[in-house]
Amino acid sequence: MHVLGLCGSLRRNSYNRRLLAAAAKELPDTATFQSFDHLAAIPAYNEDLEVRDMPAAVGALRRAIATASGVVIATPEYNASVPGLLKNAIDWASRPYPNHALRGKPVIVIGTSTSDFGAVVAQAELRRVLSAMGAAVLQAELPVSKAKEAFTRDGRLANPLLREQLANMVLHLVNVAAVDGAHTCA
């Protein structure tokens, strides 16, 4: 079982990168986790590039998604929406339609912000986009507000209810991916 993490923030020490790491800590021992850290290298979506000479970073993203059993996306909220770089990466991953790397792939969306809302609008928008393109989006929400105080020294969520909710989301993702993988192999 292999889980891929995508972070919608480029900041090295971003709260959403920390949230992604917290999600990885909640995975069962049978699962591995890898974060895709090359979103900044992905150019703006351009169908001409896809047809002529697909950028290497796009190919790497598509392969990382295709080989993962499930995907965890941590998104900040910029201007009440999904960050442009993350939406751009999702647009590239959604090609070629309909047989793209995210089609049918189990995905959870989580997010944190320094506000009281915990990136709830960006998460909802991203789930909508992923669902429209055919990803198997698990509809649970995890709005982590006041990100500055949200994490313990060991990188876990400080709020026990949020930590339990994150653990349940990650376990559900792993279970859905295991069932999907069993059907794919059968």
185: pLDDT confidence band, cut at 50, 70 and 90? very low
The H-or-E segment that residue 65 falls in is helix 56-67
Percent of the chain with pLDDT over 70: 97
Percent of the chain with pLDDT over 90: 87
Between CA 86 and CA 105 the distance in angstroms is 17
Quick: pLDDT tens for 59-76: 999 999 999 999 999 999
Quick: pLDDT tens for 133-172: 999 999 999 999 999 999 999 999 999 999 999 999 999 9
Phi-psi region of 93 (alpha: psi -120 to 50; beta: other; left: phi over 0): alpha
| 2-185 CATH, one of 3.40.50.880, 3.40.228.10, 3.40.50.360, 3.90.1150.10 | 3.40.50.360
Domain boundaries, given as residue ranges, for the chain? 2-185
Contact 5, 34 (CB under 8 A): yes
Quick: pLDDT tens for 87-113: 999 999 999 888 899 999 999 999 999
- For the whole model, what pTM was predicted? 0.94
